[in-house]
Structure 1
Amino acid sequence: MIDCHRETAIILDRLADHFKKRPRTIYQLSVAWDPYEGGINFFILIHKLGHRQRSIPLHTVKTTELADFETIMTEIKGATQISVVYAGFDGLRWPSSNQLIT
């Protein structure tokens, strides 16, 4: 079992390091399910208008438990207003609401 609060703190710290609030720049959190390595990867996507989009790895959470993932995402969404893009969660559902992860 992982410590969800510690994992969230790591992600939020690294997110804050890259989130500079620059004008004409779009920031997104990308979350990718990796069933082969048994983890969930977090990236920050930075797209300055007129330039290429950059993807910077933030952290990998070594769990495939969707309940742990839901706890981490609830804490991240409570601490930030960054938009989130999910990848690789096809057909998977949030444990608490049974809604598709999109």
Structure 2
Amino acid sequence: MQLLFKRTSRTQYWFQVANDPYDSCYNFFFNSQRKGERLKSVPLHKLDNYDLHYLEQIITGLRKRTNLTIRFVGFTGMKWPQTQKTIQWRRDIFE
């Protein structure tokens, strides 16, 4: 993560977590997009432990380490087991 985050001006950085129910895993990506340029998405990790409780712990730890936005794909209508907050409110255009 720190190798990819370069603090370039006019550039947006965020994490994306994708739910993959077909392979029973969660995929993590580091995304960046400079103004007027194409999106760059780098796969970071595949989490084979397909348990929402475990993912919630991972996301909580990730939020403690970084202030970057975390976007969720494939979690529409699902809630975190511990906090009961909705994970993803609306469908993403990539779903």
Query: Fold conserved (TM > 0.5)?
Result: yes
Structure 2: gaps (5+ residues):
89-95
Structure 1: gaps (5+ residues):
1-14
Give 1:74-93 correspondences, 5 Å limit.
Answer: 74-93=60-79
Q: Indicate the RMSD between aligned Cα atoms, in angstroms.
A: 0.8
Q: Which residue of 2 aligns with 1:12?
A: none
1:16, distance to aligned residue in structure 2 (A): 1.2
Identity of aligned residues (%): 34
Which structure has the highest helix share of the two?
1
Residue number among 43, 57, 81 corresponding to 2:29 in the alignment? 43
Q: Which residue of 2 aligns with 1:21?
A: 7
Larger RCO: Structure 1 or Structure 2 (Cα < 8 Å, ≥ 6 residues apart)? 1
Runs of 4+ in 1 over 4 A off after TM superposition: none
Q: Which residue of 1 aligns with 2:92?
A: none
Provide the TM-score with structure 2 as the length reference.
0.88
1:79, distance to aligned residue in structure 2 (A): 0.5
Q: Which residue of 2 aligns with 1:65?
A: 51
The count of corresponding residues between Structure 1 and Structure 2 is 88
Output one character per residue of 1:1-48: Cα deviation in whole Å (capped at 9) or x when no partner.
Answer: xxxxxxxxxxxxxx1121111111100101100011111000011101
